Structure 1
Amino acid sequence: MKKVLKVIGITVLSFIALIIILLSFLLIKNYLDSKKPIIEDTYYKNFQSDATLEKKYAGLGSYEVSLVKLKSEDDTIKEYKIWYPTELKSKSQAYPLIVVTNASNTAASVYESFFERLASWGFIVVGNEDKQAGTGLTTSKTLDYVLELNSDSDSIFYGKVSQDNIGVIGYSQGGAGAIRAVTEYDNSNKYKTIFTGSAAYSLLAKNMGWEYDISKVAIPYFMSAGTGSSDDSGEDSKTSFGGVAPLSSLIVNYDGIRNDVFKVRARINGAEHGDMLTRADGYMTAWMLYQLQNDEEARLVFIGKSAEILSNSNWQDIEKNN
């Protein structure tokens, strides 16, 4: 009997040890996977469009780019990453600033090529390591930090931030965070414009603790989403999960913003939720160039009855008030 019990004991211990090893492996794997880039360094080279300006702005700009990483005392932010035109160090001019709000479980370190490409168009672009940015709090703190650098004579960013030209970008959970960043904080009035890709619809955002009031948005806003089922499942989002950003939510958000605010809503044909980070690149960049650099060519994407976005087969369900 003792031998039987001993065998059973050894078997149980071996099984427990196997479970521990398996769990340890999965934890290590998940940790390593969380550090892997989610887009390739030259992802923009694969962008497809028959629209001249969308194709142009989805690519690289003319500026050489540098990166600085600065530790944060905030355990959620962990590190600020700031991409900027390399010439900034030797020029006396100020550059427009874009703050990026991360999507769910996504830190800036896993999509650095996104920031670098955007900065190549003449922007200072800043991100952080917050993987749950839906409240907009770390976005607000990040903006404050960069503005502090702008006032610090020992910083390379001293006097280099164009404080009248600050934009914010957010995807998915980060879309809700970007909306909150421009509406709920003491520095919300610092932003000149906002772009969101598949921002979590209002009821979903509320249930997740990222509730926003779209009626408070008072700056030019370009909102986008995909037509795929992950963004729009076709279900009623009031009674079931309608996708992260169904067309109905874009319509509600668009209509909830005052008509004296320039606003654009549009969806990318065939794009799933996970595609939005790269599929929206061309017109997201054009929007920021138009709003923050007063780029007249980029303006042609959005303004008037002949705006390029209106005839671009990549985009549909377009509504704009200018």
Structure 2
Amino acid sequence: MSNRTVHRVHRGTRIALTAVALTAAMSAAPISAAPSYQPAAPVEATYYAPGPWAVAERSGADCCTSTGDTYDIWYPANLDAGVHPVITWGNGTMAHPREYAYLLAHLASWGFVVIATDRTDTGTGAQMLDAVHYLAEQNNDPSSVFHGKIDLDAVGAVGHSQGGLGALNALARESGLIDTAVTLEMPLAAVCSSLPTVDGQSTCVDTSAITSGSVLLVNGSADGISPGTQQLPPALIGRQSMQAYYDALPAQVPKARAALVGAQHNDIQGQPDCTNYSCAEGVYRYLGYLAAWFRGQLRDDPAARGAFVAGTGEFLHNPYWAEQASTLTH
């Protein structure tokens, strides 16, 4: 058991957010590199390929969050090779973990235990934190497959759309527990403020209140719900872009951001290709750098971390991405 203490813009826009989150139910696809897609750089290519672990999956067998939701878990089938970092996942509005199965299995193949709450509104981050606490309990339970296999000193949070808000809220609420947060197509403030409260709590996030950990903000350049930039300053219209969220993060928080060129709101739900609304090419181009970010931040993998270093990092010069920025120094 780790020595870490675990108890520790308008109506039309809102309709659009709800609509793009609706997709057909998908079953988990086997992880394999797509021959039709060729990564543009060496680090991306390394982590775009499946990792060294075969992946096992538990669906709906684990329960429960504080609001009664079950978990889906993807994890290395051979857990005996040491302890494994945790990634807690947040779904987009009205979405379920199975709609991200290809991505989540890919992350698990790189040695992570990936746990996803089967809840369709994850924006407060509360259930994402419940998932980490659940794995902490399993880590202490001699009858659990996860007994003694969870590294609670290495925990990341990531989510799509409203789940991206949840990832940042989880980091802000328990920064001593969450080490890094990644947002994928997180909605601009005008959309966020139009969402209903969840369990009486707002899903909106104040990035200036995040004081520790690290943050990666990712959006698609064709996603109007998650724009990269805004014409008017936040002082006048609020944080309506990834750049505004990024700029508001305190200077001591290592951070990076970029827009995936041409990606729409639901490309991240590709299994791996698009079969759903608001998807242009599928999940392929997200795979390499998401795996690299978590390997760098949670496993201190030098090649993976180096891809995001300000000025020289591969991620900042990859032609599939635009609007890159970073404050990482090593």
Question: Measured at CA, do residues 300 and 219 of structure 1 come closer, stay the same or move farther in structure 2, by a change above 3 Å?
Answer: same
Give secondary structure in 1 for the equivalent of 2:266: helix
**Residues 267-307 of structure 1, C-alpha deviations (whole Å, 9 max, x = no match):** 11111111245232211111000001111111221124321
Secondary structure of 1:109's aligned partner: helix
TM-superposed deviation, 1:43:
7.0
Which stretch of structure 1 is more off in the superposition, 117-126 or 276-285?
276-285
Greater relative contact order (CA < 8 Å, ≥ 6 in sequence): 2
Is the contact between residue 228 and residue 259 of structure 2 (CA under 8 Å) also seen in structure 1?
Answer: no
Taking structure 1 as reference, are residues 142 and 306 closer, same or farther at Cα in structure 2, changes over 3 Å only? same
Structure 1 residue 197 and structure 2 residue 184: aligned? Answer: yes
Letter matched to residue 187 of structure 2: A
Report the alpha carbon displacement of residue 127 of structure 1 after superposing the two structures with TM: 0.9
Q: Deviations over 1:189-234 (max 9, x none)?
A: 2011111111112232122131111112221111111111534399
Aligned-pair CA distance for 1:64: 1.1
Deviation at 1:71, TM superposition (A): 3.6
| 2:295 is aligned with 1:289 | yes
Match of 2:71 in 1: 80
Corresponding residue for 2:215? 221
> Secondary structure of 1:138's match?
helix
How many residue pairs match? The answer is 281
Q: Residue 308 and residue 157 in structure 1: after superposition, are their counterparts in 2 closer, same or farther (change >3 A)? A: same
Output the CA distance in 1 between the equivalents of 2:187 and 2:257: 14
State how far apart, in whole Å, the 1-side matches of 2:153 and 2:37 are.
31
Separation (CA, whole Å) in 1 of partners of 2:233 and 2:192: 12
Q: Match of 1:257?
A: 249
**AA in 2 matched with 1:227:** S
Aligned partner of 1:232: which letter? P
1:232 aligns with 2:227: yes
Q: As a proportion of its length, which structure holds more helix?
A: 1
Other-structure match for 1:301: 307
The aligned residue for residue 135 of structure 2 is 146
C-alpha contact 1:77 1:128 (8 A) present in aligned 2: no
- Maintained 8 Å contact 1:169/1:195: yes
Distance 1:40-1:139 versus aligned 2 partners, 3 A rule: same
Q: Are 2:189 and 2:239, in contact at CA under 8 Å, matched by a contact in 1?
A: no
Q: Which moved more, 1:274-283 or 1:254-263?
A: 274-283
- Greater Cα shift, 253-262 or 202-211: 202-211
Contact 2:62 2:71 survives alignment (8 Å) = yes
For 2:180, the aligned partner's letter is T
Q: CA RMSD in A?
A: 2.8
Tell me the percent identity: 27
Higher mean displacement: 48-57 or 130-139: 48-57
**Structure 1: 4+ residue segments shifted above 4 A:** 73-77, 233-239
Residues 169, 249 of structure 1: alpha-carbon distance in 2 compared, 3 angstrom cutoff: same
Distance verdict in 2 for CA 1:228–1:110, change over 3 Å: closer
Question: Structure 1 regions of 5+ residues with no counterpart?
Answer: 1-32
CA-to-partner distance for each residue in 1:76-126, whole Å, 9 max, x for gaps?
A: 6532122211221x34x2111111111121111233222211100011111
Closer/same/farther in 2, CA of residues 206 and 38 from structure 1, 3 Å limit:
farther
- CA positional deviation for 1:73: 4.4
Residue number in structure 1 paired with 2:286: 280
**Out of 107, 123, 144, which is 2:112 matched to?**
123
Per-residue CA deviations over 1:18-73 (Å, capped at 9, x if unaligned) read xxxxxxxxxxxxxxx96621885457414442222212212211111112342424
Could you tell me whether the CA contact under 8 Å between 1:101 and 1:171 is conserved in 2? yes
User: Structure 1 residues 310 and 130, CA, compared in 2 at 3 Å: closer, same or farther?
Assistant: same
Larger-gyration structure (1/2) = 1
* 8 Å contact kept, 2:71–2:118: yes
